[in-house]
Structure formats: C-alpha cells, structure tokens
Structure 1
Amino acid sequence: MSPDQIGFALLYLGVFLLLGKWLRVRVKWLQNLFLPSSVIGGFLALLLGPQVLGKILGSFVSEDSFWTNGIVSENVIETWSTLPGLMINVVFATLFLGSTIPHVSKVWNLAGPQIAFGWTMGWGQYVVGVAIALLILSPVFGLPPMTGALIEIAFEGGHGTAAGMAGTFEKMGFAEGYDLAVGLATVGLLSGVIVGIVLINWAIRRNKTKVVDNVEGFSELKKQGIIEFENREPAAKMTVRPESIEPLSLHFALVGLAILVGYFILQLLILIEDVTWGAFTDSAFMTYIPLFPLAMIGGIIIQLIFKKIDKTEIMDRKMVNRIQGFALDVLIVSAMGTISLDIIGEYIVPFLLLAAAGIAWNVFGILILAPRIIPSYWFERAIGDFGQSMGVTATGLLLMRVVDPDNKSPALESFGYKQLVYEPLLGGGIVTALSVPLIFKFGALPFFIFSVAMCLLGLLAGLLYFGKKGRTGKRG
C-alpha cells in the first residue's frame, strides 16, 4: 500500500467524522441519545463498507468490482484497521499529562466512597463474565475462558481499550475477541446513555436526587453538540511562542515522549523476564502485554518530571485534552468501521449473554450497592460511575451533568479524583491489560477466585467503612 493510499484513507476518515457531526445536528433522536459524532460516523462507515452495502451491491456486480466494498475500499479498510491500536496509546499517554496530582489524603477523603464503588463494579464485571465463561461459554459454545474478560474490557475500557487489545487477542489465538469486544463496547455505550437517562428519570420521580427535579435542562444547541456563543472558551492556552515552536507541536512531542517511555518500560520488562523467570519456565508472559497501559505510566512519569523542572508551566492540560479527543475520535470511527459483523453473527448468543450480564450487573450496582456505599449525594455521584462502567468516561460526565448541571454536589470533583486511583488499574489500566494474558497463562478459575476477592474487598470497604460512616451521620 502506497503512502498516497494511506493518506487518502486518513482523509476519508475525516469525511465520516463530518458526516457523523452533520447527522448529530440534523437528526433529533441522535441528539436525544447524546451519541458522539465519532460513533455515528463509525456506524455510517460500517453500513457503507464491504460488510453491509458491499454485500448488497455484490449481488448485482461481479466479484472483482469496486462496489463489492461499498464505498469504502480495501486499502481504506486496511489502513483503518491499524489505527485503533496506535491511537489508544495516545489516549492513555494523555490521561495524566498536564494534570495536578493531589495529595493522597484529599483523594481518599473525598473520593474514597467512589473508589470503593468503582472497584466493586469493575472487579464484579470480571466475576460475572468469567463465571458465564466457565459455566456456559466454554462448555456449551467452545469459546476460550478468556472470553469472560470481555465485559470489563469493553464496558469499563470502552472502544479504545477493546481496540488496543487486538494484538493480545491475536497472539493468543483468539482474534475474534477484538470484534466481540468492540461490539460489546458499542452496546455498552448505547445502553449506558439510554439506561442512564431512564435511571435519572426514575431517581427524580422517587426523590433520589438532591440537585435537580427534571431533565429538561439541555438546550437545542447542547443536544446538537454545539456550544452557545456566550459560553465559548479557548480550546487551549498558548504557553509558548509560535515562532519558537507551535504549541500543538510541543504537546504532541510530549505525548510522543510519554509513549516512548512506556515502550522502553515494556521492552525492559520483556528483557527482565527473558533473563530471569522466563529462562527457567520457558514463558513469555510480558510479550502479551499491550503498550497502552505502559504509555499511561510513561505519561505519569513525564508529568512528575515536568512538575519538578518546569517553572514556567508550558504544559497545558486543555491542549493535551484536544490531542486526546482527536485520537479518541479517530480510534472510534476506525474501530467501528472495520468491526466484523460476520464474527458477531457467528457468536451472537454468547455476545448477547455477555452484553445482558454486563448491563444487569451495572444496573444492580447503581440501584442496590451505590446507596449503601456512597453516604451523600449517592445518585449524583454513582451515575457517573455507572456511565463509565457502561462505556467511556464521557458518558459518565454527561450523565452527571444532567443530574448536577451547576456542579452543586461533590460528584464531579470526587469522580475526577477517583480516576487518579482507578484508571491506572481498571477501566483500561494495568489490570485490564493483564486480564486476558493471566487467564491464558494460569487459567480462568484462579483469576475468577482473585476477582471475587478483589470485588469483596471493594464491597466490604464500601459497606462497612464508607457506608457505615454515612449511617452514623458522619461526613463521607
């Protein structure tokens, strides 16, 4: 494939992003679902590509006709299929770049209940998923036990993590796991918004919310995804003079440096394994670890270094957010546009079982566990974790904005602090990246037992410590 073809594929991706945004502005039901333009564009690319439109047109043209691929050529599909694995490294490298890392005591006091709740929800997805894999998916459908990790990978991790695990699945002989994970991530994102809005209406009617009493606070422009003129702010700060270096170029270089640090960490881990336990056990566990969680660690390292040496504060968090958002949009369109509908169709029953189990566990968590773990403003705070547990952090932020539009509760602040502890481990962190290799190497049953222990740890901490403080009238 030539550089011109690769360049065209990237430009073509931009066309679908624009079409997704246009549809979001024009179609009311898409606005009411608050679907990101990247998801809409990804669906459109899938429908107009070889798997839907191509198959329809293939009935009327010869096999070697251009139209057997719809309007998305093979070269475009080939280029797009590599993008998710690249872009996820950018997304995770930017998680903590430019962020202020608060003192541990402040994080614990404010976000402790949400850490306990999120920990319970995340590990619970492994418990539910692996149990289904051991009892049904493996013995009945012949799927490998690592299928049980797909709920957490797709629901907590979202499209980015699902796509980032593609190489890991392939190395373990379960390449289908990528398509199933991306499909589950799509289900999680859609159901997260739909079920989340239903739960918000239920909570308002039952007086479970303390801030709002209706959900009509979104203007037409907000539903369209457009910021009102009077509320528009700069997308980022100019921290350096463009004649010396373009600010975007500087931040892009820092993101690249963070990814390189993560890459060197990964190579060091592989080398250590080769000369230590790997040499005696003939194992290569570290080679299964994807790069993206280590890119996140690289970002933390770069941030800590800059915190010490950068007295002029040239790193701007808003600029980092723009880079992260761009990478995530590209990732979602390319991942959804290249997902295999044939594989999902082949495993439709296991796919639906995992999707239903994941949704049921998350709904159980917010309705039953959250009010017993989070002592104050439990719904405003738990709905953010619910949204994140169903898809992406943006879904959680959206749902929190609906129930607390003016940030009158501690929900947004505690949710942000919780991410500092949660993201490095679950929801696409180290645990998520290691879950499939661990099941592959050591079996599903040991991982299931460990997941139950971790889930109980979060549950007991929430019920017996944070929840008890709330019941005794102490501040939580």
Structure 2
Amino acid sequence: MSAEQIGFTLLYLGLFLLLGKWIRVRVKWTQNLFLPSSIIGGFLALLVGPQVLGKILGMFAGSDSLLNNGLIPPQVTEVWGTLPGLMINVVFASLFLGTTIPGIKKIWRLAGAQLSFGWTMGWGQYVLGILLAVLVLSPLFGLPPMTGALIEIAFEGGHGTAAGMGETFKDLGFEEAYDLSIGLATVGLISGVVAGIILINWGVRRNKTQVIKNVEGFSDLRKRGIMEFQNREPAANMTVRTESIEPLSLHFALVGLAVLVGYLILQFLIWLESVTWGAMTGSEFMTYIPLFPLAMIGGIIVQLIFSKLDQNHILDRPMISRIQGFALDILVVTAIGTISLDVIGNHIIPFLLLAALGITWNIFGVLVLAPRIIPTYWFERAMGDFGQSMGVTATGLLLMRVVDPKNDSPAFESFGYKQLVFEPLLGGGLVTSLSVPLIFEFGPIPFLIISAVMCLLGLLMGLLYFGKKKS
C-alpha cells in the first residue's frame, strides 16, 4: 500500500469525525445521550461501509463489484483495521505524563474507599464473566473460556483496551473476540450514560444525593458539545518557544519516548523468558502481552525522570491530554467503523448474555455495594466508578459532573487519586492485558480463583474497614 493511499484513508477519517460532530450538533437524541462525535462517526462509517451498505448493494451486484464495500474503499478499511492497535499505545503512554504522582499514603487516605469499590467491581466482572463462560458459553455455544474475560476488557477497559487486545486475540486463535469486545464496549458506553442518568434521577428522588436536590439540565450548547464562550480556556499551555520547537511536537516526542520505553521493556521480557523459564518449558507467554500496558509503564518512567530533571516545567498536562484525546478519537472511529457484524450476529446470544451480565453487575454495585463501602458522599463518588466500569473514564466524569456540578464533594479528587493505583492494573492495565493469555495458558479455573480472591479482598476491605467509617 502506497503512502498516498494511507494519506487518503486519513482524509476519510477526518470526514467521518466531522460528520459525527455535525450530527451531534443537529440531532437531539445524540445530545441527550451525550454521545461522543467519534462514536457517531464510527457508527456512520459502519453503516455506509462493507458491513451494512456494502452487503445491501452486493445483493444487486456481482461478487467482484466495488459496491460490495459500500462508500468506503477497501484500502481505507485495511488501514483503519491497524489504527486502533497503534493508537491505544499513545492513549496509555499519555495516562500519567504531566501528572503529579503522590505517595501511597496520600492515595490511601483520600481514595482508599474509592479504590476498594472500584477493585471489587473490576475483579467481579472477571468472576462473573468466567463463570458464565465455563457454565454456559463454552458447553452450550462452543466458545473458549477466554470469552469470560471480555466483560472486563470491554466494559472496564473500553474501546481502547478492546482494540489493543486485537493482536493478542489473533495470536491465541480467538479473532472473534475483537469484534465481540468492541461491540460490548459500545453497548457499555451507551448504556452507561442512559443507566447513569436514570440512577441519578432515582438518587435525587430518594434523597441519596448530598449535593444536588434536583437534576438541572445542561445548557443547549453543552448538549451539542460546544463550549460556552465565557467558559472557554486555552486547550494547552505554550511551555517552549516555537522558534526552538513546536510545543505539540515536543510533547508528541515525549509520548513517543514513553511508547519506545514500553516497547523495550516488552522486548526485554520476551528475551528474559526465552533464556529462563521459556527455555525450560517451551512457553512463549510474554509474546502474547500487548504493548499498551507497558507503554503506560513507560509513561510513568518518563514522568518520574522529568519530575527530577524538568526544572522549567515544560511538560504540560493539558497538551498531553490533547494528544491523548486525538488518539482516542481516531481509535474509536476506526474500531467501530471496521467491526464485523457477522461475528456478533453469529454469537448474538453469548454477546447479549455478556452485555446483560456486565450491566447488571455494575448497577448492583452502585445500588448495593457503594453505600456500604464508601463512607461519605457515596452516591456522588460511585457515579465515577459506575461510568468507568461501563466503558470509559469520560462517562464517569460526565456523571459526576451531573451529580456534583460545582465539585462540592470529594468525588473528583478521590476518583482521580484512585486511578493512579487502579489504571496500571485493571481497566486496561497489566491484569487486563494478562487475563486472556493466562486463561489460555493455564485454563479458566486458576484465574477464576485469583479473581474471586481479589474481588473478596476489595469487598471485605470496603465493608469492614472503610464502611465502618461512616459519619
């Protein structure tokens, strides 16, 4: 494929992002659901691509007709299919760049209860998913036990993690998992917003909220995804002079460095395995580990080094966030736009069972576990973890903003500190990336036992320690 063809696919990408934004501005129901433009653009690409429009037109054209691809040329979908796996490395490498990493004691004091709740919810998704796979999906539908990990990968991890696991799924002979997990991530995101708004209305009516006593609607501009003029702020800070280097170029280079450090760590682990336990057992476990969680570790290493050397504070978190957001938009559009509806259709009952179980567990967590674990402002704080557990951190932030519009509760602070411990492990971290290879290598039962122990540990810590601190 030529460079011109790759460039052409990027033009298509920009077109669908613009169309997604235009639909968000124009169509009321997309505003009420707070759907990101990347989600809308991805769905539009899916509809006019080979999976929907292409199949419809293909019924009237020959098997070799270009109409079988709909309005999206085959070279576009070919490049798009590789982009999610690349962009997730940028997203995870950016997680901790430009942030202040506090000590464990401060995190425990401010976010211990939040971490216990999130820990219970994350590991619980593994417990329920693996049980479903072992008891139902494997014996009745012939799916491998690895299917049990898809709830956590898709719901807790979101589109990025699901896309990042694509090569791992392929290497383990379970390619269908990519499309199933992308589909589950989409269901989780949409149902997270819908169920979250319903829960907030319920919480207000039942006096579960401490900050708001009525649900005030967002402004029309907010719903359309447009920043009010009086609230507009710079997207980032110019920390270096452009005659030396463009600030965006500098920060992109730092993100690239973080990915490179992660890549070197991964290659070292693969080499270490090959000359130690791998040589004795014939194991190639490390080759199944995706790059993105190690890119996150690379980002932490780069951040720790810069915090010692960067006396002029040139590493700007808002600039890193713009790069991260750009990569995530590309990831979501291309992941949804290239999803295989045939795979989901062939496994529709397992897909629905996984989705229903994930949604039910997350709602149960908010209604039953959160008030018993989180000592103060439990509803406001639980909304952040509920949104994240349904697929994306931004949903959690959105729901917290609805239930605590002026940041009067400790919800945002405790959620942010909790992420510093939670993200490196669950929701796309090392545990998430290792779950499928571990189940493949050792079977579902050992990982089920580990998950049950971890879930119980978080639950007991929450109930017996933090839950007793209610004022």
Q: Same fold (TM over 0.5)?
A: yes
Once residues 100 and 217 of structure 1 are traced to their aligned partners in structure 2, the CA distance between those partners, rounded to angstroms, is 34
Distance apart, 1:217 and its partner CA: 3.6
Tell me which residue corresponds to 2:61.
61
- Alignment partner of 1:261 is 2:261: yes
After the TM superposition, which residues 121-140 of structure 1 pair with which residues of structure 2 at under 5 Å, given as runs? 121-140=121-140
Tell me which residue corresponds to 1:198.
198
Tell me which residue corresponds to 1:394.
394
Once residues 203 and 459 of structure 2 are traced to their aligned partners in structure 1, the CA distance between those partners, rounded to angstroms, is 23
Once residues 252 and 5 of structure 2 are traced to their aligned partners in structure 1, the CA distance between those partners, rounded to angstroms, is 24
Tell me which residue corresponds to 2:172.
172
Match of 1:300, as an amino acid? I
Once residues 202 and 210 of structure 1 are traced to their aligned partners in structure 2, the CA distance between those partners, rounded to angstroms, is 13
Distance apart, 1:215 and its partner CA: 2.1
Tell me which residue corresponds to 1:435.
435
Once residues 57 and 346 of structure 2 are traced to their aligned partners in structure 1, the CA distance between those partners, rounded to angstroms, is 22
After the TM superposition, which residues 325-474 of structure 1 pair with which residues of structure 2 at under 5 Å, given as runs? 325-470=325-470, 473=471
Distance apart, 1:305 and its partner CA: 0.1
Tell me which residue corresponds to 2:21.
21
- Percent identity for Structure 1 against Structure 2: 76
Tell me which residue corresponds to 1:35.
35
Once residues 184 and 166 of structure 2 are traced to their aligned partners in structure 1, the CA distance between those partners, rounded to angstroms, is 14
Tell me which residue corresponds to 1:232.
232
Match of 1:251, as an amino acid? H
- Alignment partner of 1:102 is 2:102: yes
Once residues 435 and 58 of structure 1 are traced to their aligned partners in structure 2, the CA distance between those partners, rounded to angstroms, is 39
| Number of equivalences | 471
Match of 1:309, as an amino acid? L
* Deviating more after overlay: 90-99 vs 209-218: 209-218
Once residues 60 and 339 of structure 1 are traced to their aligned partners in structure 2, the CA distance between those partners, rounded to angstroms, is 23
Once residues 171 and 314 of structure 2 are traced to their aligned partners in structure 1, the CA distance between those partners, rounded to angstroms, is 40
Once residues 131 and 301 of structure 2 are traced to their aligned partners in structure 1, the CA distance between those partners, rounded to angstroms, is 37
Distance apart, 1:216 and its partner CA: 2.2
- Alignment partner of 1:311 is 2:311: yes
Tell me which residue corresponds to 2:88.
88
List per-residue Cα deviations over 1:220-242 (Å, max 9, x = no partner).
00000100000000000000000
Once residues 73 and 207 of structure 2 are traced to their aligned partners in structure 1, the CA distance between those partners, rounded to angstroms, is 53
* Deviating more after overlay: 452-461 vs 97-106: 97-106
Match of 1:229, as an amino acid? F
Tell me which residue corresponds to 2:252.
252
Match of 1:296, as an amino acid? M
Match of 2:297, as an amino acid? I
Distance apart, 1:2 and its partner CA: 1.3
Distance apart, 1:65 and its partner CA: 2.3
Once residues 53 and 270 of structure 1 are traced to their aligned partners in structure 2, the CA distance between those partners, rounded to angstroms, is 43
List per-residue Cα deviations over 1:30-69 (Å, max 9, x = no partner).
0000000000000000000011001111122232222211
Structure 1 stretches of 4+ moved >4 Å: none
Once residues 4 and 328 of structure 1 are traced to their aligned partners in structure 2, the CA distance between those partners, rounded to angstroms, is 24
Distance apart, 1:270 and its partner CA: 0.5
Q: Structure 1 unaligned runs (5+)? A: none
Tell me which residue corresponds to 1:113.
113
Partner-residue secondary structure (3-state), 1:336: helix
Match of 1:219, as an amino acid? S
- Cα RMSD for the two superposed structures: 0.6
List per-residue Cα deviations over 1:156-195 (Å, max 9, x = no partner).
0000000000000000000000000000000000100000
List per-residue Cα deviations over 1:405-450 (Å, max 9, x = no partner).
1000000010000000000000000000000000000100111011
Match of 2:131, as an amino acid? A
Tell me which residue corresponds to 1:12.
12
Once residues 332 and 462 of structure 2 are traced to their aligned partners in structure 1, the CA distance between those partners, rounded to angstroms, is 34
Distance apart, 1:243 and its partner CA: 0.4
